[in-house]
Chain A
Amino acid sequence: MPSTLFQIGRAVLAMVLGIGGSFVYFVGINKIIDRVFSDEIQEKVRPWAYIAPVVLILIGYLIYPVVNTAYISFFGERSDEFVGLANYEFAFTNDSMLIAFRNNAIWLVVATAGTVGLGMLIAVLADRVRYERLVKTLIFTPMAISFVGAGVIWKYIYAFRPAVSPQIGLLNAINVNLLNNEPVAWLFQVPENTFFLILVFIWIWTGFAVVVLSAALKGIPEELIESARVYGANEWQIFWRIMVPMIGSTIAVVATTMVIYILKIFDIVYVMTNGNRKTEVIANRMYKEMFQFRDFGRASAIAVILLIAIVPMMIINIRRFRQQERQR
């Protein structure tokens, strides 16, 4: 098929230009600096040549857009008339926005507790068996799968047929054939449907919690746990009084990472329910304002609210980074 050939040719050409171009820049700029400047000036100019591309891209793709988004959040849908705080008022009073806020709060609590809790459980238990690596790999593998792919996987599990036809969704098959219940349209059940979406997130992200927490657990000195056992501590006490406090900072890291991802959650909801039946979340609402309603003012206000929710996490991240720097 000529169109496929054309497409592959275009892809290869584009990749060669893109990747080759950036190589040529870095090697080329070095040679130019060597030729043009005296030795002394070379050493002053070169660092800037190395960081210029990233600084420019970061300004263009993050810093300028952030400032601009904050600015147009005070303007109307086409950014031509100043509307004050009207977009924010909309964000905090509109019904579907309120549902989105409530759902994001549920997501934050349930998905964070779910991933961290299950992650801790699996990390501690897997530490005691010989097939630890296999367990961790199996739990970790869904991390490779996109939210879109996972959305399809789970939508299939939740699939619903009327009672007269055989069930092809796993959950309804169990529900009908084994438990003798009526089939349920899981994603239509308000308010449980939000929890069914959260399950998809937990399925993907528990592996992350397991891997990070398990690495931290291995850092606890064996003698500490042994001597606690000698002094008569039971496993439960060892878990709560030794393991949890010893890896407290790592648990916090996993939890903040989860919070950052959950606040921005979009794909799962977009693919599985598109926010219908009261499953709306903030980021999906923003997408709708942007593309369905073409209201850039409201969409920007929602983005700013997301940013403000994430800033505390950002401060924690930077603090932790500074601490690491000092410890070096």
Chain B
Amino acid sequence: MNKEKLVKFLTSLPVHITLIVLSFLWTLPTLGLFINSLRPEDAAKTTGWWTVFQTPFDFTQLTLGNYISVLTEQGMGEAFINSLTISIPATTIPILAAAFAAYAFSWMEFPGRQIIFVSVVGLLVVPLQMALIPILRIYSATGLTGSFLGIWLAHTGFGLPLAIYLLRNFIGALPRELFESAFLDGASHLTAFFRIAMPLSVPAIASLITFQFLWVWNDLLVALVFLGGTPDVAPVTVKVSNLVNSVGEGWHLLTAAAFVSLALPLLVFLFLQRYFVKGLLAGSVKG
């Protein structure tokens, strides 16, 4: 190694060390959780998860027992299905409704268009807490508490402002000529929506799906308020937070349950990260 290269290497060394240390620290917590979730109760109760590295090739020290136990006895399996039942429609419905609204805001003329849209943007940062009590009262009166329909609609309401805002920015920025020539050829608005606006908005929709899905899946507050009292519809977040209280120091179970709750969002995130980042940049960095 010549001298110049050595100097360059040494001056950049602090940069490498800082980045590697930070990356390591950021990964360690999840890794520890995952390893401990695979350890039998006795081991988890008496030693730390890092002790598995004393005999790294001894796979007999690992077990899937905790997962079997939390998925069946502790009800995480049921909660997982509930989370899916909540998240999939609570992602699809608002995005579909927002897409039609965004299309109308972009390519249709009607009185009050601008005012209505600006009001929607204003609702973006209304804290959820402002909405809970009145909705809860209506739900209690109409029997919607503890129902999937109730929580879909709630998540739809809370997710719509961001979805409309992002989609309107995207659909509104599509080239005008595309729509004009389609209308000249006799296309209806519905055709223009499904054949032009939707296919071209795939990136925006993908990023919204990632956002809304993660938001709904990871939500605790809305689920606690509207489903909290009904165990058989509780999603994973509610279940895990209950387990924290009920199994207390049973870390072999808690770590497995937590991992069940975060495995799917982690997968979705790793696959759709590109779109998620695009959404972040479109929503908060523009301008």
Interface residues, chain A, CB within 8 Å of chain B?
4, 7-8, 10-11, 14-15, 18-19, 22-23, 26-27, 30, 34, 43-44, 46-48, 50-51, 53-55, 57-58, 60-66, 68-69, 72, 118, 121-122, 125-126, 128-129, 131, 134-135, 137-149, 151-157, 159, 165-170, 173, 203, 206-208, 211-212, 215-216, 249-250, 253-254, 257, 260, 263-264, 266-267, 270-271, 283, 286-287, 290-291, 296, 299-300, 302-304, 306-307, 310, 313-314, 317-318, 320-321, 323-324, 327-328
- B187 near A: Cβ within 8 Å? no
| Mask of B203-223 contacts with A, CB within 8 angstroms, 1/0 | 000000000001001111100
Mostly, the A contact residues are helix
The chain A residue with its CB closest to the CB of B191 is A30
- B269 near A: Cβ within 8 Å? yes
**B285 close to A22 (CB less than 8 A):** no
**B97 close to A53 (CB less than 8 A):** yes
CB distance from A47 to the nearest CB of B (A): 4
Which one of B15, B26, B153, B251 contacts A61 once the chains associate, using CB atoms below 8 Å?
B153
Q: Are A271 and B241 also in contact (CB < 8 A) when A54-B97, A57-B156 are?
A: yes
Which parts of B7-57 form the interface with A (CB within 8 Å)? 12, 15-16, 18-19, 22-23, 26-30, 32-33, 36, 44-50
- B96 near A: Cβ within 8 Å? yes
Q: Which residues of the partner chain A approach B133 to less than 8 Å between Cβ atoms? A: 65, 68-69, 72, 290, 296, 299-300, 303
| Mask of B123-136 contacts with A, CB within 8 angstroms, 1/0 | 11111111111110
Q: Are A152 and B30 also in contact (CB < 8 A) when A7-B78, A48-B110 are?
A: no
- Give the total of B residues in contact with A, Cβ under 8 Å: 112
CB distance from A208 to the nearest CB of B (A): 7
Interface residues, chain B, CB within 8 Å of chain A?
12, 15-16, 18-19, 22-23, 26-30, 32-33, 36, 44-50, 77-78, 81-82, 84-85, 88-89, 92-93, 96-98, 100-101, 103-105, 108-110, 113, 116, 118, 120-135, 148-149, 152-154, 156-158, 160-161, 164-165, 173, 188-190, 214, 217-221, 224-225, 228, 237, 240-241, 244, 249, 251, 254-255, 257-258, 261-262, 265-266, 268-270, 273, 277, 280-281, 284-287
The chain A residue with its CB closest to the CB of B218 is A146
**B104 close to A148 (CB less than 8 A):** no
**A139 close to B157 (CB less than 8 A):** no
Q: A54-B160, A72-B134, A173-B48 are in contact. List 17 more A-B contacts (CB 8 A).
A: A10-B85, A23-B96, A30-B189, A47-B108, A47-B113, A57-B157, A65-B135, A125-B15, A126-B19, A139-B22, A146-B265, A149-B237, A156-B255, A170-B48, A212-B281, A271-B220, A310-B127
Q: How far is the CA of A258 from the CA of B121 in the complex (A)?
A: 18
**A146 close to B103 (CB less than 8 A):** no
